[in-house]
Amino acid sequence: MSEVIIVPSAREAGILVADLIVGLVRRRADAVLGLATGSTPLPVYEALVPHAALLRDVRGFALDEYVGLEAGHPESYRSVIDREVVAPLGLDPARIRVPGDDGGPLETAGERYEADLEAAGGVDLQLLGIGATGHIGFNEPGSSFASLTRVKTLTERTRRDNARFFASPDDVPLHCITQGLGTILRARHLVLLAFGAGKAEAVAAAVEGPLTASHPGSAIQLHPRATVVVDEEAATAL
Ligand code: GLP
């Protein structure tokens, strides 16, 4: 693990991380960005808008996706990425890959995703949020640190947390497809963001807790270049 940066607000975190991305893209115009969904990375995407012209040639790989939503469902992560990242930054949607979005059979979607990721040369900078259960991507407690992209069952807690995005809690899918912890650890730079008191315990366990599959976020301690950017509330248990 490399560093923890405490910033006054999510907005400032967004600007700081957008600057990291801009620096990367100035060095390598076709950099591969690891995209996260959820509310946490939104300030980063907003702060990238003034730099959109620079980002034309970047490629993107999303961390995870629900299984079972109809194509074009507004809460599918493909739709969220198209809405929150592709459209405001004027990116070519074909340069962004989301697990399971290639139309092939679900059973082998993970292998195809890993192959595409490898063919792109791997992720240069991976954005990460963290769930209250300590999940990163959709790697819930119990996920192997060596796991690769695969279909998983969502925990009840995560389904409940994500119900706010759906008309009814029953509409939240039961399954997802997610990059594994092993996949995430292959990225060259991890940037984990967390805001608000509700994330304080998960952040402390990820940064300072024991390395354990019971807290998937702790896997970031294995990475030689992990940057954790939190606001003061999310830093209170550190
Ligand atoms: C979701 C996503 C994760 C995200 C996390 C936190 O379920 N699959 O990638 O990091 O939960 O969400 P939020 O950023 O909205 O708190």
Assign residue 193 the CATH number of its domain.
3.40.50.1360
Report which residue type is found at 35: L
d(CA 171, CA 94): 28
Q: Which residue is closest in CA terms to ligand 1's atom 12? A: 38
Neighbours of 172 (CB within 10 A): 20
Neighbours of 68 (CB within 10 A): 11
Give the pocket of ligand 1 (CB within 6 Å).
Answer: 36-40, 63-64, 129-131, 137-138, 158, 162
Atom from ligand 1 closest to the CA of residue 41:
14
Query: If you measure from the C-alpha of residue 42 to the centroid of ligand 1, how many angstroms do you get, rounded to a whole number?
Result: 11
Band (18; pLDDT cuts 50, 70, 90): very high
Q: Which helix (H) or strand (E) holds 227?
A: strand 226-231
Query: What is the domain range of residue 122?
Result: 3-235
d(CA 231, CA 10): 6
Q: Which helix (H) or strand (E) holds 60?
A: strand 59-62
Band (32; pLDDT cuts 50, 70, 90): very high
Total domains, the chain: 1
Q: Which residue is closest in CA terms to ligand 1's atom 10? A: 129
pLDDT at 1 over 80: no
Q: What is the ipTM of this complex?
A: 0.94
